[in-house]
Amino acid sequence: MPLPTPFGVFDARAFQGDSGHFHLALVLGEVAGRTEVPTRIHSECLTGDAFASLRCDCGVQLRLALRVVAARGYGVVLYAIGQEGRGIGLVNKLRSYIEQDAGADTCDANLRLGLPVDSRGYGESAAVLRALGVASVRLLTNNPLKVEGLRAAGVTVSSTESLATTPHARNLAYLRTKEQRLGHVKPTGEVVGDDALAGTSPAIDTTQLIGAVRPRPDRPYVVLKFAQTLDGRIATSTGDARWISGEAERTISHALRAMCDAVLVGVGTVVQDDPQLTVRMVPGVSPMRVVLDSTLRVGDTARILQPDAPTLIVTTSRSRPERRARLEAHGVRLELVAPGPDGVDLASALRELRADGVQSLLVEGGAKVITSMLSAAVVDRLIVSVAPTIIGCGTDAVGPLGVTRVSDGIRLTNRAMHVLSDDVLLSWDVGIASRGLHDGHDR
């Protein structure tokens, strides 16, 4: 029967195997008698596929597979029900998460529970492919054991194609374990480097840029990122910032978003740039969007209000109640915190985010937010891209910090540097200023 999806109209067929479990085959185009049929054997993962859990990469992989098959115009996505948690089932998978939170990796967690690391068989998937008449497959997977299993079950796997996803700080250890202990090939895509975007995978691994994510009790791990011209501006004097950096650098920005729980800007950037702040240029999950907006200046048609990702606006009692109600009606979450000298009180805003479960926060500007974050010494990692452009006066990347002597500046350590097409990408750990930066500075 036809199953319309945003990726295309698939022919959905259900098959029941000897185990009693069903396989749902989503077939696109003519596959009978064809060779090199793009094929994904996707093990059911209710938490990842349906609820977008960030513990795994399953939901992103499933949608990526549907997209790849749709792009080729033919292929099979075979959804293997009953293979939840590499075969241990949903409840045991939740139990294994408890073990993982206590320090075990995804393999040892199963072993600690007396369960196999991977108990999946591929005989029933092979039978479905035979029933569909597929002559040979181009298997969409990073998992060599799946290739072996299908071959052992009689399927001709003529080639494989990576299904790497851009990692999230929360699934990174899981993906590394799959790579190191289960032999998965580059599940996190290409590592950022001089030739990151020349690789075959659209996924980008920004772990080196982000550094070790260590949230504090009172705030998330904060990564501050901006793109500046060679002369230190993040926008022209009219506020234009599109685009300071090139496409390669902007792709990295999307991968950084995909790595974090939330991405934050000030309302000035929303009003000026109307950004979407979603992940579009790499396969990955869009984070929660956070806007600091003390009086709710954000416009009704702002793109961050669109439902493609969750949005949280941090505001104060200075915003009008009817405006709050209207935004809530848009499905936007509002958090009321104390006012501060720059709008909302930054420490309270970060504390609320942490209390809401945000562990990693990417701050994308603009100038006032960059300045107040650095001023408050709440930045753990700084990522700056420098573009080969000089624009003269404009918006300085960083405003007044009250530093009068160079030796009192904020110390940056552990520099990493990458060349991306024309841009240079620099990242550092951020130390605290050798003397406290003043607050209440004139802005």
Instruction: Catalog residues that contact ligand NAP under the rule CB under 6 A.
Output: 226-227, 234-235, 239, 241, 244, 265-269, 272-273, 292-295, 297, 340, 342-344, 346, 364-369, 372, 395
Helix (H, G, I), strand (E, B) or coil at 93: helix
List C-alpha distances in Å: 57 to 7, 43, 148, 259, 263: 19, 12, 21, 12, 20
User: With contact defined as beta carbons under 8 Å apart, do 408 and 442 qualify?
Assistant: no
**311/372 with CB nearer ligand NAP:** 372
Q: Closest CB to ligand NAP among 396 and 429?
A: 396
Kindly tell me which of 163 and 369 has the beta carbon lying closer to ligand NAP: 369
The answer to whether 420 and 385 are in contact (CB under 8 A) is yes
Least distance between ligand NAP and beta carbon 372 (Å): 3
Q: What are the catalytic residues?
A: 118, 120
Nearest of 73, 49, 51, 76 to residue 63 by alpha carbon: 49
Which one-letter DSSP state was computed for residue 251? Answer: H
CB neighbour burial string for 89-126, b if at least 16 within 10 angstroms, e if fewer: eeebbebbbebbeeebbbbbbbeebebeebebbbebbb
Spatial distance between the Cα atoms of 13 and 299, rounded to a whole number of angstroms: 46
* Least distance to ligand NAP, CB of residue 227, Å: 4
The answer to whether 189 touches 284, Cβ cutoff 8 Å, is no
Q: How far is the CB of 330 from ligand NAP (least distance, A)?
A: 18
Among 91, 33, 425, smallest CA distance to 251 is for: 425
Cβ at position 328, least distance to ligand NAP in Å: 18
Indicate the residue among 239 and 402 with the shorter CB distance to ligand NAP.
239
CB of 230 to ligand NAP, least distance (A): 13
